[in-house]
A and B are shown apart, each in its own frame.
Chain A
Amino acid sequence: MELKDLPYFFSLPKQEQKIALEALLFTMEEPLDINRLMKILASNESNSADEQDIIEYELLDKIGFNREYVKNLINELNNENSDNDRPFRIIESGGGYSLVTSRKYGKIVGKINKNIVRRKLSNANLETIAIIAYRQPISRPGIESIRGVNSKEIINGLIDKGFVRIIGKSDAPGNPYLYGTTTDFLKAFGLNSLDDLPKLKELKELGFSESEESGFTLRIEMEDESKQIDEKNVPEA
């Protein structure tokens, strides 16, 4: 038994493997647990990281490219970065590995910048808050039926950020909470009241009514909703 191809990552010189690992974690959207990390590193250029079954872990293990090897790379990298007074370290926390500033430079940065953090809402955040803004009061199942993905974390995050609050309970089975937007939401988006939200009818320009092949029913539903929102004035705290 032999490996068809050594995965690209493991074919690199060891020193480049370490640096590539650092760069990889830099570009990741969330901490990577060792399983996902292995999956990514072991995938070949030809196969996607999702085709796990193609990846010949056992064969890789046999020639020494296993979790221990990768953990060891991380340790070596951290030691080298420490020896050379580099500002970044790989740590394991929050369910996986991520790249952070070293303690020394974290402190220094903290002293330099006690500033306001400028941030962008992620698309998922923006999308969820838009749905809540237009469809409030709306339950989590309602939000998820539009987004098509589990949105619990996102909703909680928006509550933490102060953009969303619970405004009641639904009569639907299970009595899920109903969510609505807050005054902080209005402020952040520069709106005086929910009446200032761009009307759904204005979405026409964005391509609702003109797409010949697309859901006619959806269009009708939406037009009703825009009326609803016009008439309804969701109370604001």
Chain B
Amino acid sequence: MARLVVRDVVITTLLLGLFAAIGTAVVAWVHAATEARIAENRLQMTRTRVTQVLEGLDYDNDPVTDYHRVSDDRLGGEDLPVWIARRGTEVVGVALSAIAPDGYSGDIHLLVGIDRTGTVRGVRITQHRETPGLGDDIEVERSDWIHDFRGRSLGDPPIERWRVRRDGGVFDQFTGATVTPRAVVRAVRNALLYFEANSEELLALPPPEEDEVLIIDPAVPEIPDHVTPTERLPEAEPPGELLQ
């Protein structure tokens, strides 16, 4: 019963190989046809987000291809990307990624757009795990709270009032959730402090050589943890992890 018929084995094998080859050929062909568009799509994702936090700035480069990596405690992480907006070769603003380590349930990732004068042009939360329905009012889709930062700078309000109202600052907390806004306010303030301390270097960063531009790859998209509004939105992809 267990005698092997080699011919059968070979036929089985070759048949399967054949099917595999045909299937792969089709897929490879589709891949060739879509490759360029997919790459462009990926850039576009990041571009949209960076554009949002640099709102109102007049720049003529594509910040997505013009980025550097920085590490600093005030930004809360290592090798965080910073995108540069320029007019000509002059840097007019930067989009800093930052991490607030003291969220209610873990890190909050944000993108802070700052112009050369040190004024916030926009802030967006890119990833967080705050309690849905309570801490997630920091998302732009859920409330306007995040827009409070627009136009603020280290002098406005004065540094000691860069806090939530409960702690004697100017920023609103949400009813029932102080921890989250406190963390975000602190992170934005720290990003500004970082900018102030390093503005010279940041503003002097050179534009990239043409052939240095890397393709930005969002990898395989993340599986939704909870299907919460946060992850539902493509904007929530962390820019920091978009780069490989």
Real binding pair? no
B→A interface (CB under 8 Å): none
